[in-house]
């Protein structure tokens, strides 16, 4: 068993790698070589990446791709996506093309309010606490003005502060519920700084501050994206039948949590890919969205569909707390390029793009599920991944892709087929 190591954080990168290789790698030199292969040749750029997080020893590459031909509110977009899962970008691109000749996507931001809390304990008289809060509330705004000045100049700041009684859920538990407008910033540091200042002012001998922190659940920071078309334009053959089947698939995800989880995971394939590519926090986004899917106590689909008369409607409404300034959005070179690709969007515009990406991904999945089945699209990329693992040549790939067309693909079947192909090739040579 590896011994605990003291002072590891003080090691330089080379020393950390040497320790790692010595204690964990079966093939020491090969392990070191792989780590260094992923270093950027530009030392300045690599140094920038090294400083994003602690104890950096290499870079872990995730493919960075684009999905063109998205029309959102009449404007054409090419959407950057960073994700490791096959078929996601292909699906998004196909859906973008599909809706580009059917009016495109419509999107709008419904609200942009973000939330933070000062959580505290108080065992005294409730009326006295309310009186104390009412008296000190103006001061809470005044004493945070130095922190909020720049944000207020941009039209943001603290919107309101409320005292919330939570003692029915936990003995002596109260909170200050603080709402914010952070404009183009995601606002995490701003919100937390404000909350800690508010807590410092509000505390007294009777009020025990537990913690001050923003919430990643932002049900009042909402965006809606939608598509619609005449039912005859939905599918080439029997469009009404397939449109009805599509709606039924959504309805199942609205009532069945087992299906809803997978349904919403597919939505997050699109959302997270764009969030990551723009340098935003995809974990925060995912946590908030999944909480929103459970807001009535039952985990449900994030998308909805209906047929009204002869018109098919499909839409999504989700919370998205995104930023286009601050953090990695302006620090990571590819994140900066992503925002440039998206016409340097405001936070609200980025919310619309991300919501559309999620809706598009879900449309692709449901259309496949209710027609040919999900595996047909996945098999091609799965086949390609297997062939890459087996180090097949381009010539071998072409032969085997054709051989397995329309068939279910397994690793063993492909490996055996490649082996047989190579036996034939060697014999012929």
Q: Respond yes or no: is residue 244 known to be catalytic.
A: no
Which of 13, 306, 378, 397 is an active site residue? Answer: 378
For the record, the structure tokens of 367 come out as: 């259309």
Q: For 166-321, list the strands marked E by DSSP.
A: 173-181, 207-214, 222-230, 303-308, 311-319
Q: Of the listed 85, 149, 160, 165, which one is catalytic?
A: 85
Tell me if residue 196 is catalytic.
no
Q: What is the CA radius of gyration of the chain?
A: 26
From 265, 290, 306, 397, the catalytic residue: 265
Tell me 325's DSSP state.
B
d(CA 362, CA 365): 5
CA distance 15 to 9: 10
- Catalytic, 232? Answer no
- Residue 225 forms beta bridges with which residues? 107, 316
184, 281, 349, 382: the active-site residue: 281
Phi, psi (rounded to 5 degrees) for 46 = -65, -40
Q: What is the C-alpha to C-alpha distance for residues 114 and 41, in angstroms, rounded to an integer?
A: 40
| Contact (CB, 8 A) for 199 and 117 | no
C-alpha distance from residue 356 to each of 132, 283, 345 (Å): 46, 19, 14
CA atoms within a 13 Å half-sphere pointing along the CA-CB vector of 51: 10
- 281 is a catalytic site residue: yes
Q: Name the strand (E) or helix (H) holding 248.
A: helix 239-255
Residues involved in catalysis: 85, 265, 281, 378
């Amino acid at each position: 068993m590896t011994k605990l190591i003291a002072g590891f954080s003080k090691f330089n990168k080379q020393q950390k790698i040497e320790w790692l290789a010595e204690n964990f790698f079966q093939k020491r030199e090969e392990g070191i070589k792989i780590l260094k292969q992923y270093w950027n040749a530009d030392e300045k750029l690599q140094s920038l990446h090294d400083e994003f997080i602690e104890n950096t020893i290499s870079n872990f590459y995730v493919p960075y791709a684009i999905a063109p031909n998205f029309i959102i509110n009449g404007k054409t977009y090419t959407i950057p996506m960073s994700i490791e899962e096959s078929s996601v970008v292909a699906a998004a691109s196909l859906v973008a093309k599909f809706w580009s000749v059917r009016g495109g996507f419509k999107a709008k931001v419904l609200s942009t309010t973000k939330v933070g809390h000062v959580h505290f304990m108080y065992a005294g008289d409730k009326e006295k606490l309310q009186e104390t809060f009412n008296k000190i509330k103006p001061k809470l705004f005044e004493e945070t003005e130095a922190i909020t000045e720049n944000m207020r100049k941009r039209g943001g700041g603290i919107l309101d502060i409320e005292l919330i009684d939570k003692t029915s859920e936990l003995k002596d538990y109260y909170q200050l519920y603080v709402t914010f407008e952070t404009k183009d910033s995601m606002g995490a540091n701003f919100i937390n700084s404000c909350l800690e200042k508010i807590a410092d002012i509000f505390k007294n001998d009777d009020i025990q501050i537990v913690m001050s922190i923003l919430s990643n659940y932002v049900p009042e920071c909402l965006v809606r994206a939608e598509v619609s078309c005449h039912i005859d334009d939905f599918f080439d053959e029997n469009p009404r039948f397939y449109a009805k089947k599509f709606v039924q698939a959504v309805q199942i995800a609205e009532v069945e949590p087992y299906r809803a989880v997978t349904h919403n995971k597919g939505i997050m394939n699109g959302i997270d890919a764009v969030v990551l590519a723009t340098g935003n926090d995809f974990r925060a986004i995912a946590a908030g969205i999944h909480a929103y899917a459970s807001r009535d106590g039952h985990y449900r689909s994030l998308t909805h569909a209906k047929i009204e008369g002869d018109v098919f409607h499909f839409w999504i409404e989700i919370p998205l707390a995104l930023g286009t300034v601050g953090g990695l959005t302006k620090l990571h070179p590819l994140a900066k390029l992503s925002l440039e690709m998206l016409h340097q969007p405001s936070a609200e515009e980025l919310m619309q793009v991300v919501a559309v990406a999620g809706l598009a991904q879900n449309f692709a999945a449901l259309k496949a599920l209710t027609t040919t089945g999900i595996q047909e699209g996945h098999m091609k990329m799965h086949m390609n991944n297997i062939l890459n693992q087996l180090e097949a040549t381009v010539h071998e790939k072409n032969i085997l892709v054709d051989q397995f067309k329309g068939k279910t693909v397994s690793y063993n079947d492909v490996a055996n087929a490649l082996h047989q192909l190579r036996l034939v090739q060697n014999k012929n040579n």
